[in-house]
Chain A
Amino acid sequence: MKIYDLPDKRGHFGPYGGTFVAETLISALDELCKQYEYYRGDAEFQTEFFRELKHYVGRPSPIYHARRWSDHLGGAQILLKREDLNHTGAHKINNTVGQALLARRMGKSRIIAETGAGQHGVASATVAARYGMECVVYMGSEDVKRQVTNVYRMKLLGATVVPVDSGSRTLKDALNEAMRDWVTNVGNTYYIIGTVAGPHPYPMMVRDFQAVIGNEARQQMQEEYGRQPDALIACVGGGSNAIGLFYPYIGEENVRMIGVEAAGKGIDTQKHAATLVTGRPGVLHGNRTYLIQDENGQIIETHSISAGLDYPGVGPEHAWLKDCGRAEYVAVTDGEALAAFHALCRFEGIMPALESSHALAYAAKLAPTLRKDQLLLVNLSGRGDKDMATVAQQSGISL
């Protein structure tokens, strides 16, 4: 097994990652790096983290064999890593628990977060309530309108939701605004980034907290199937659920890793969010990575039926895994994701998040091309209750 030890000390994954922020943020990031480096190796911190994951989040999440759906597809067996069964219904909570524990040890009393669909906002508001911290969530004003239920959920949990009216009024603008808050209030404030993007140490730290997904999977696969899967499949917006599953497998080169991006209305239209499949490298939100941008380097508005994949950047480690060929990246359309959503509901009695439905849709394409004794492990990163209104609307039904 080759040793994989990225990122380097300054957060670089090959040419990607790094710390591309204004001087005003550097000292806050330096402090965060120092503290995280310490607690990463601190047994007491790690013990508390795993205790919280067990008793509060409900881990380990099982691996479930989607037998009826696999039989229907007529090829490889599809296994689901059930992150949808976590408290709050998605993988996001793994990271917010880890960062909130770090924030407490750093003496910060206020946490801020950005959110698109609201899942990371809800996960942040949840841990803020759990640990008795003030929580402010920035959310694009367009998203506030589209995600009324999650906005209310965050308020029930005691968070303040701040609508952001600048730019395209979506996730990327919420991230800009959260950064501005952090610069201004860095003394008492901890910024919980929800994905493996942003400046160092966020891509590494969020990966480490999410790696529980892949570490559990390796153990569960060995115990229950006596071997590792032939391929891992996960959806990629910023890429945190995918890296969480992939990272512990990077050294196992006979396990394929496939990241599935949102092709929206098609990658040949302007309405998609397939950053790695169609984008070019650039600098945004503190790191160098692939971006969806115009020829002048302005960031273009993205589209996906799934708000959690609707982001013009992607985690720098994915950019690196793409370039070095260790992981493959593909894209599926809104329509393909919706079909997979319905299939999983009908064949397995599981309602997946629209984000995760992208991974499922690719699994449904790949499985029939493989032998029946081959295993595909799909990260079912979240549950789909939050998406019912969107799905109903697509079917011409108003709830």
Chain B
Amino acid sequence: MNRIESVFSRLKSQDKAALIPFITAGDPDSATTVALMHQLTRSGVDLIELGVPFSDPMADGPTIQRSSERALKQHISLKDVLTMVAQFRKMNQNTPVVLMGYANPIEAMGYKRFVEEASRSGVDGVLVVDYPPEESAEWVRHLKDQGIDPIFLLSPTTPESRIKHVAELAKGYVYYVSLKGVTGASHLDLQDVSSKLSQLRAHIRIPIGVGFGIRDEQTARSIAERADAVVIGSRIVEEIEHSQAADLLANVGALVESLRHAIDARSNHASDIG
């Protein structure tokens, strides 16, 4: 059982939903990112999505675009991101780390070199926003060769035929984008999420995380009542953006603890994993 499977299996036995934060690697700097990853685990997250900064983050809203720009100002490269994961792994062997980003930095490094170095650094899964399943056959083969989980997005507009295709390729968990739009937008319809999740569960046998548009404790709790994992990105990145260096870890820690508390207080959990 790999780290991602272990985490979801533990949560299932505890009847809990996973809390997955997203932060951009190198925002505000490399040392803080590693410290933040440890802070996140102390504050109760189950898995960390670490954003790889890219010059043209097409699917992201302004908050995550700015975090990418802050990281790129310091010339944070994919190689640097892998170094951050390796540093985190020196002290933490349990919390899965999933890289999330765009295709071109990986294309520039080459699939083979990337998967080897990612595996050595302790990366557990990779989500490439602009590799849809149709373009992913070779990519997924490289990841699986190194035991890294390919994570895929599903959206409100994904038809059934494509859900089946993703079900065949995906490992670890799938990430359901809960609204039409970019990251950080704010019009999430819980009714829609519920009905789409039951459609997804007809084909997807691995845990389903929900993200995009989750900005407060109440929404987090409602999502936790429906999904296996709650992904929170822009809200946390905003906290990083607005914090003074001295308070950054404490502020993010407090925010994440309140979210943890909210999703653990869910009721009527209707998950049917596996």
A21-47 vs B, Cβ < 8 Å mask (1 yes, 0 no): 111101110000000000000000000
User: Which residues of the other chain, A, contact B57 by a CB distance below 8 angstroms?
Assistant: 176
Contact assessment for A167 and B69 in the assembled complex, using a CB-CB cutoff below 8 Å: yes
Q: Please measure, in the bound complex, the distance between the C-alpha atom of A388 and the C-alpha atom of B152, giving whole angstroms.
A: 50
On whether A24 and B180 interact (CB within 8 A), knowing A296-B78, A299-B55, the answer reads yes
Q: Closest Cβ of chain B: how far from A319's Cβ, in Å?
A: 13
CB distance from A222 to the nearest CB of B (A): 41
Most buried by A among B69, B152, B177, B182: B182
Evaluate whether A291 and B104 lie within 8 angstroms (CB atoms) in the complex, with A176-B57, A184-B182 already known: yes
Tell me whether B58 and A296 are in contact (CB under 8 A). Answer: no
Interface membership of A107, Cβ < 8 A: no
Separation of A227 and B55 alpha carbons in the complex (Å) = 48
Interface string of B127-144 (1 = CB under 8 A from A): 001111011000000000
A297 touches B109 (CB 8 A): yes
B107 touches A281 (CB 8 A): yes
Contact at B158–A296, with CB atoms within 8 Å? no
Q: Which of B38-46, B59-67, B223-231, B257-265 contacts A (4 or more CB under 8 A)?
A: B59-67
Question: CB distance B130 to A166 under 8 Å?
Answer: no
Of the candidates B55, B130, B153, B157, the one whose C-beta lies within 8 Å of that of A28 is B157
A271 contacts B by Cβ under 8 Å: no
A281 to chain B, nearest CB (A): 7
In the complex the two chains form, what is the Cα distance from A286 to B58 in whole Å? 9
Bound-complex Cα distance A282 to B107 (A): 6
CB distance from A169 to the nearest CB of B (A): 11
Chain A 304-332 interface 0/1 with B at a Cβ cutoff of 8 Å (1 = within): 00000000000000000000000000000
A110: B residues at CB distance < 8 A: none
Minimum CB distance partner of B108 in chain A: A297
Min CB gap B166→A, angstroms: 9
Within the complex, what minimum Cβ distance (angstroms) separates A46 from chain B?
Answer: 29
- Say yes or no: is A333 at the interface (Cβ < 8 Å to chain B): no
If over half of A's interface residues share one DSSP class (helix, strand or loop), that class is named, otherwise mixed; here it is mixed
| Chain A residues whose CB sits within 8 angstroms of the CB of B56 once the complex forms | 167, 172-173, 176, 284-285, 299
Instruction: Give complex CA distance A172, B58 in Å.
Output: 10
Contact, CB under 8 Å: B107 / A283:
yes
Cα-based distance from A266 to B107 in the complex (angstroms): 27
Contact B69 A22 (CB under 8 A): no
> Contact: B134 with A19, CB < 8 Å?
yes
A 338-364 to B, binary, CB cutoff 8 A, 1 in contact else 0 = 000000000000000000000000000
Residues in chain B near residue A223, CB distance under 8 A: none
Between A20, A167, A281, the greatest number of chain B beta carbons within 10 A of the residue's beta carbon is seen for A20
Q: Assuming the A-B contacts A184-B185, A285-B58, are A19 and B132 also in contact, with contact meaning beta carbons closer than 8 angstroms in the complex?
A: yes
CB-defined contacts of B182 to chain A, threshold 8 Å: 180, 183-184
Alpha-carbon distance A298/B75, docked complex (angstroms)? 10
The one of A184, A284, A291 that contacts B180, using a Cβ cutoff of 8 Å? A184
Q: Return the CB mask of A142-178 against B: 1 if under 8 Å, else 0.
A: 0000000000000000000000001100001100100
What are 13 A-B contacts defined by CB distance under 8 Å? A20-B135, A22-B153, A23-B132, A24-B157, A27-B155, A27-B159, A167-B56, A180-B181, A183-B59, A183-B180, A283-B130, A295-B108, A297-B78
* Chain A interfacial positions (CB closer than 8 Å to B): 10, 18-24, 26-28, 166-167, 172-173, 176, 179-180, 183-184, 186, 280-286, 288, 291, 293, 295-299
Which 5 A/B pairs are nearest by Cβ-Cβ distance?
Answer: A297-B108, A27-B157, A297-B105, A283-B103, A296-B77
Given A22-B58, A24-B59, output 4 extra A-B contacts at Cβ < 8 Å.
A167-B56, A183-B59, A282-B104, A297-B108
